[in-house]
Amino acid sequence: MRHILNAHFHSLVIFTVTLFVAHLTSSYLKSRLSRSEERSSSMSILSTVVDIGVYMVGFLFILNSYGISISPLLTALGAGGLASALALQDTLANLFSGITTIFSKQVRMGDYIKLASGEAGRVVDMNWRNTTIRTATGNMIIVPNKNIAASNVMNYEQPLAECTISIPITITYDNDLQKVEQVTLDVARYILKRSEYGVSGFEPLVRYDQLGEYGIRFQVVLRIRNILDEATLKHQFIKRIFNRYREENIQLLVRHD
């Protein structure tokens, strides 16, 4: 009876320690790999893998405490694991691809990314099988983790969320280029300073880049806080630059084909 009670007591201690270690390890990894409390809510892939590994080790220790030899069990698990790996190649590929992506920190929760296939959106979940991306229209794109690891991905949040954009404008040949540049820079500075989507400390640029058949084209370079703000800032700039050009009698190119 004493031997049985000791075995039960050891099993209870091992079970308690196993639960504690699994919870502590998964919580530590979540806090280390997440940048905010909000983004750590969906890091299920790490907690799942860590919990399974710790529980398996704890189960083997419990069997050993009852005097059950675990060597045959390990041999059987090795053979079964090889067969399972062959049968679950896609599942394991997604699992390890997800782990690699998370540890490399090339794609994080909340990042706005664009896939090589053209889909773009913000990462809202990364689990053991797939990554979920929310598009600007609110739709969800479910992408297998192995596709994320194997394809070219543009991350607009790293190393900084700020990025530069260029707006093409074409004017006629009878304009004063110095005046056009000055007026355009004045409008660009005004927009960057007054708009909540622009970076006020950035000095805008005007670069003439093409002498076309009908006019001169140039690029206006601005800096935005986030790639999602591009459309709004362009909207604000185009409205103001059009009105200012009319006031200054600067002629935009209008083609009549």
Q: Is 132 exposed, middle or buried (0-12, 13-18, 19+ CB in 10 A)?
A: middle
Residue among 62, 49, 48, 68 nearest 16 (CA): 62
What pLDDT tens digit does each residue of the chain (257 aa) get? 666 666 666 677 777 777 677 667 666 665 655 544 444 444 555 566 666 777 777 777 776 666 666 666 666 666 556 555 555 566 677 777 777 777 777 788 888 888 888 888 888 888 777 888 888 788 888 888 888 877 788 888 777 778 889 999 999 999 999 999 999 999 999 999 998 889 888 999 999 998 988 899 999 999 998 888 888 999 999 999 999 999 999 999 876 45
How far apart (Å, rounded) are the C-alpha atoms in residues 131 and 140? 10
Confirm or reject CATH 3.40.50.720 for domain 163-248, answering yes or no.
no
Answer whether 18's CB lies under 8 Å from 10's CB.
no
Residue among 213, 225, 217, 212 nearest 252 (CA): 217
Place of tokens 């190649």: 89
pLDDT of residue 67: 66
- Strand order from edge to edge, sheet including 205-211: 163-171, 216-224, 205-211
pLDDT of residue 169: 94
pLDDT of residue 38: 40
Residue 31: partners with Cβ closer than 8 Å, 6 or more residues away = 40
How far apart (Å, rounded) are the C-alpha atoms in residues 132 and 45? 13
How far apart (Å, rounded) are the C-alpha atoms in residues 174 and 189? 25
- The DSSP call for residue 160 is -
Give me the architecture of the 107-155 domain, per CATH: Roll (2.30)
**Where in the chain are the domains?**
2-87, 107-155, 163-248
